[in-house]
Structure 1
Amino acid sequence: MLIRLTHSPFRRLARPALASAHSCSRTPQLSLIRNMAIDFNPPPVPLGVLDREKFQKTITVLAAALPVQKIGEVRSNNVARSAVLRETRVQPVVKAYGEKADKRLLLLASEKEEELDQEALAFIKDRALEIVPYQIKLDYDFWDAEDIMRALLPQDIIVPGAFTSVGHVIHLNLRERQLPYKYLIGEVLLDKLKSMRTVVNKTDIIHAQYRYFEMELLAGVPDFLVEVNEHGNIYNFNYREVYYNTRLEREHWRLVEKFNPNEVVCDVMGGVGPFAIPAAKKGCAVLLNDLNPNAIKWARLNVVKNKVDKDLIRLSEIDGIDFIRQSVIDLFHAPFPAWQPVTRLSRRERDAAVRKRLTEKQAKKAASRSPKQGKSDLPVQPRSRSPSPRRQIEQPPNFLFAHPSTSQLLATSDSADADRVSPSKNVPSTPETASTLTPNFVPSGRIASPITRNGSVLSAPSAPSAPSPPASSRSISSQANPESPSPRYVPTGMERRTPGHYILNLPTTALLFLFGFRGFLRPLMATHRMAPHYGPEKNMPMVHVHCFTKEQTDDSMKQDILKRASEVLNYRLRLDMPELELHHVRKVAPMKNQWCLSFRLPWQVAIEDVAEAEIDRLKENLVKAHLELDITPELDEYEDIEPPSLVPKERKREFPNVDMI
């Protein structure tokens, strides 16, 4: 979550120091408020030292003693309201005469009558009992974090205008000039944000293998176990062990809306599951991969916590390139069960089911309380005191998806039973023949209910039955009409053995991972059973890759992304391709934007005859690129933007508006 330290417009207008920054074309009412000499700024305090007792200030204003019945009339009058104090954190009506008194004080916007609008003042005087001075006493609690830091930091130091919050953790990205005051900034933020307990600053140290940042504790307790809620999905993780960006919540939702429940989603850099878990709850089959073992540990916990059907999600912990090239083989030999829509009951049917359960429960209780007819000669067995299911703590299942080598899979495929139907005979792929196309192989280490154990070999059932998704796994697009699923989600009755979507969410280097798709269907071509499942116009997956660009215009940004992606794919991507989409995710910094490139993987790329040595060479280049980022880390999505009005004249620059740090 992004939190900005901003003021209300009326607070800023009431400050004489900022009056010159406003245009003179305001309405007369706002212009009058702007010129009033009420200074709500903090008092002068020693720089660099937080002494809360020093933040004491008294402001004198005029107040009109009005009968209780007249206060509403004055405050609602368009003429009189211009003379009423409009500071957001000061209550304009004061019970100065006691709780039960029949009059109140209405605070005015100046301490001098001549500074008020005379027409408004006359209207108030006609209804007031008297006009008296009133003192407003301010202390440390009155000012917000930006006010306090502006008073404590030197004028040439930019006050942090925004920060990221992840659970109870405040995440800052301080600049070099702000670092001498980092502990002071952390202490002020912790004072002003009562729900936060920890303040950290991102350092320049990036984990070379798992790509998350080291953090420095600035204030609060060293508690980094956080909980984040995104659209009803709960994610628990240790913020120091994994990378998680709360500013991508809208992007998570946008991509999940594109998935159909009968598709397979492959999340290459899945992290703790912000894409995978909502997709699985929607009904999609999901392959979640991340090289970071801690990310997989927390993803497994989040799968259980969000009550995701474990048969719909498989976890892996391998390199992203290996995952891309292995996923099509694993799905082909160990498919997911067919998707079945959730049967939704009407309210009458639900009420009838509840009444039936209550009746059965009452009958069972009455039978247990009925008097016994006679004593039995058999000894009475003591009742077992098994723990209640509610008290049993379910441990996260170990359903880590182990990936065997390609040669092992192909060897298993070649040794399949001779009576299986071969696709070379042009047998149509139907629910009846789908099971005959499934080889007797399942990668080791995986626990999944659609596969039954037959001796030492796992084999697929001849007639697989799809488990019904939980009641909460309805599609996002069908929530407006929960009685029936969307017409486009048509159950096919077939096992899901082809990937529908690939997500690559590592913006700094994700484009470099696209070479993993070059020729990744070639191993399946050797099995002579690929034709019913893949083709130039059949079952080619969509690829969604996030990336950064430093170009400034929309056309140049799009051309830059397409050029870089085309070079890695060895195939030219064009803007006029039917399903190609370039979506602007957010503005990260003045010279940096994040985009998401979505395109249907071309058939020519998937079947390209590329040597394994070439793939290995490209993987080595990818490792070198990551190491270069460790040496010279560039500004990332936490980069703060200097407000132009606060930058010293000698360094002043005009920046475009941005929505993120």
Structure 2
Amino acid sequence: MASNLTPPQNRGMTVLDREAFKAEWTTLAICSPSTAVKQLTTALEDVVPDNNNADKKFILLNLDIKDIKEALNDTQLELIKNYEIIPYRFQVDYDYWTTEQVLYSVMPEGDAETPSSFTTTGHIAHVNLKPENIPFKSLIAQVILDKNKKIKSVVNKTNAIDNTYRNFQMELLAGKDDMITELKENECRFKFDFSKVYWNSRLQAEHRRLVRMFKKGDYICDVMAGVGPFSIPAVKKGAIVYANDLNPSSYQWLCENIKLNKITSNISTYNMDGRAFIKKAVKDLYLESNGTKFFQHFVMNLPATAIEFLDAFKGIYKGIDISSDLLPMIHVHCFTRSADPIQDIKQRVCQIMGGPIDAAFCNMQMYHVRTVAPKKDMYCVSFRLGPEVAF
């Protein structure tokens, strides 16, 4: 259809009225048999067939085209010379317009950004609305629900993430009140109550990136495991995992997801404070293996506060017979607002650990995970635990 169509303007609409998005236009159309449609639409620009008639098609030209001879080149004119060109009146309704087009037409004039983006978690769409969008929240949610058939619920968070349990209060904006969702990520299935645990689908690539570092037979300590996005793929890869989360709901769904993925061995689960868990996991593995096995990796995915838990590694291998080259890699997620993120994170890590990360600090790896907000970035810093701290 004509490429320059815009929906009727409904500035200030806060309750969705689908009838208000009906519109009617007249444009030039090429009257063509069905057999010629493909050839014509390939050769012409800004056209699309009207499929209302099975035997005869009306190929609609761009609304801007008023004179065929001026708009088309000689080759195109030769192609259509035997076809009738007629004025064609057509209608479109709410179903025709995209989410962005509908929302742009209702937002106050001058708004630079249309609030059409959302994160999908199973059947749930999670929007992050700015204060100026709040009066339109019900309409925004209903449009998202209408235009995305796999979405059944639209929610907006009403407060910041709780740093203890990593969940947030949510407001149901449209759809059914069902927060128990299920999805697939990295060839694993996950089920959980989105209102009681932390899950961010935008971290899928980060989950995959770290799991790729793990080898079959590696021992992994997942300190803030959530519902298992690192732990479960790691076990399926052949690693042995000790997984912990303080949030009782996360722990419950972690255990549920272990069953859901038909995992019957090589994972131990804990529901305790992260600092206490780090010490307990090291001790448990040492005793269970009679001092022959050690963790290769610690994962600490609690970006708001994970760095603060690094003090648990002070003296953690004191009295344990382990060579320095077998000390574990630590992967810590964190936020920074600094213009010099590497220096900022380095200083914070060293301050908490009470010493250098390792003897060759330049080997530290800093990975930018994503930009969370303007001037707020999420990083993963990876380093080997140094003997100065470990012993």
Tell me if 1:509 matches 2:305: yes
Q: Which structure 1 segments of 5+ residues have no match?
A: 1-9, 16-39, 86-91, 336-436, 439-494, 608-661
Distance in 1, Cα, partners of 2:285 & 2:118: 42
Structure-1 residue corresponding to 2:295: 499
* SS, match of residue 9 in structure 2: coil
Are the structure 2 counterparts of residues 334 and 573 from structure 1 closer, same or farther at C-alpha, using a change threshold of 3 Å?
closer
Tell me if 1:518 matches 2:314: yes
Tell me if 1:106 matches 2:64: no
Tell me if 1:551 matches 2:338: yes
Structure-2 residue corresponding to 1:598: 382
Q: Percent identity?
A: 37
Structure-2 residue corresponding to 1:568: 352
Greater RCO structure (CA 8 Å; 6+ sep): 1
Structure-1 residue corresponding to 2:49: 93
Distance in 1, Cα, partners of 2:59 & 2:160: 56
Distance in 2, Cα, partners of 1:61 & 1:238: 51
Distance in 2, Cα, partners of 1:558 & 1:197: 41
Are the structure 2 counterparts of residues 60 and 507 from structure 1 closer, same or farther at C-alpha, using a change threshold of 3 Å?
same
Deviations 1:151-205 (A, max 9, x none): 2222255421411111111111111111122122112211211211111111125
- Contact kept, 8 Å, 2:179 with 2:194, in 1: the verdict is yes
Are the structure 2 counterparts of residues 276 and 126 from structure 1 closer, same or farther at C-alpha, using a change threshold of 3 Å?
closer
Equivalent of 1:194, from 142, 145, 149? 149
- Contact kept, 8 Å, 1:542 with 1:600, in 2: the verdict is yes
Structure-1 residue corresponding to 2:286: 332
Tell me if 1:313 matches 2:278: no
Distance in 2, Cα, partners of 1:280 & 1:68: 56
Residue 243 of structure 1, CA deviation: 0.5
Q: If each structure's strand is expressed as a fraction of its own residues, which one has the higher value?
A: 2
Structure-2 residue corresponding to 1:155: 109
- Contact kept, 8 Å, 1:199 with 1:218, in 2: the verdict is yes
**How many pairs does the alignment contain?**
388
- Contact kept, 8 Å, 1:169 with 1:196, in 2: the verdict is yes
Structure-1 residue corresponding to 2:27: 61
- Contact kept, 8 Å, 2:335 with 2:378, in 1: the verdict is yes
* SS, match of residue 212 in structure 1: coil
Equivalent of 1:272, from 210, 227, 232? 227
Distance in 2, Cα, partners of 1:70 & 1:221: 46
Structure-1 residue corresponding to 2:369: 585
Where in structure 2 are the equivalents of 1:227-246 lying within 5 Å?
Answer: 227-246=182-201
Residue 233 of structure 1, CA deviation: 0.2
Distance in 2, Cα, partners of 1:68 & 1:332: 75
* SS, match of residue 169 in structure 2: strand
Distance in 2, Cα, partners of 1:325 & 1:95: 68
Structure-2 residue corresponding to 1:659: none
Deviates more, 1:50-59 or 1:67-76: 67-76
Residue 557 of structure 1, CA deviation: 1.5
- Contact kept, 8 Å, 1:242 with 1:295, in 2: the verdict is yes
* SS, match of residue 281 in structure 2: helix
Amino acid at match of 2:8: P
- Contact kept, 8 Å, 2:357 with 2:384, in 1: the verdict is no
Equivalent of 2:177, from 222, 229, 233? 222
Distance in 2, Cα, partners of 1:206 & 1:593: 16
Equivalent of 1:75, from 28, 37, 41? 41
Residue 93 of structure 1, CA deviation: 2.0
* SS, match of residue 229 in structure 1: strand
Structure-1 residue corresponding to 2:324: 536
Structure-2 residue corresponding to 1:51: 17
Q: Which structure 2 segments of 5+ residues have no match?
A: none
Tell me if 1:42 matches 2:7: yes
Are the structure 2 counterparts of residues 574 and 109 from structure 1 closer, same or farther at C-alpha, using a change threshold of 3 Å?
farther
Residue 70 of structure 1, CA deviation: 4.3
Residue 45 of structure 1, CA deviation: 2.9
* SS, match of residue 129 in structure 2: coil
* SS, match of residue 301 in structure 1: helix
Distance in 1, Cα, partners of 2:36 & 2:193: 57
Residue 249 of structure 1, CA deviation: 0.6
Equivalent of 2:204, from 223, 231, 249? 249
Equivalent of 1:259, from 209, 214, 228? 214
* SS, match of residue 141 in structure 1: helix
Distance in 1, Cα, partners of 2:31 & 2:110: 45
Deviates more, 1:235-244 or 1:571-580: 571-580
Residue 606 of structure 1, CA deviation: 0.7
TM-score (normalizing by structure 1): 0.56
Distance in 2, Cα, partners of 1:149 & 1:303: 41
- Contact kept, 8 Å, 1:67 with 1:128, in 2: the verdict is no
- Contact kept, 8 Å, 2:371 with 2:377, in 1: the verdict is yes
Structure ID, larger Rg: 1
Amino acid at match of 2:61: L
Are the structure 2 counterparts of residues 126 and 114 from structure 1 closer, same or farther at C-alpha, using a change threshold of 3 Å?
closer
Are the structure 2 counterparts of residues 116 and 192 from structure 1 closer, same or farther at C-alpha, using a change threshold of 3 Å?
farther
Structure-1 residue corresponding to 2:81: 127
Amino acid at match of 1:590: P
Structure-1 residue corresponding to 2:242: 287
Residue 129 of structure 1, CA deviation: 2.6
Amino acid at match of 1:147: Q
Deviations 1:73-100 (A, max 9, x none): 43333xxx23x42xxxxxx12356x42x
Deviations 1:29-71 (A, max 9, x none): xxxxxxxxxxx11113362232111111012110112345544
Residue 272 of structure 1, CA deviation: 0.5
Structure-2 residue corresponding to 1:488: none
Distance in 1, Cα, partners of 2:141 & 2:128: 11
* SS, match of residue 125 in structure 2: strand
Distance in 1, Cα, partners of 2:237 & 2:36: 57
Amino acid at match of 1:109: N
* SS, match of residue 213 in structure 1: coil
Distance in 1, Cα, partners of 2:348 & 2:70: 63
Deviations 1:109-138 (A, max 9, x none): 235116952425861575333110112210
* SS, match of residue 162 in structure 1: coil
- Contact kept, 8 Å, 1:65 with 1:131, in 2: the verdict is yes
- Contact kept, 8 Å, 1:64 with 1:128, in 2: the verdict is no
- Contact kept, 8 Å, 1:587 with 1:593, in 2: the verdict is yes
Amino acid at match of 2:17: D
Amino acid at match of 2:203: L
Amino acid at match of 1:104: K
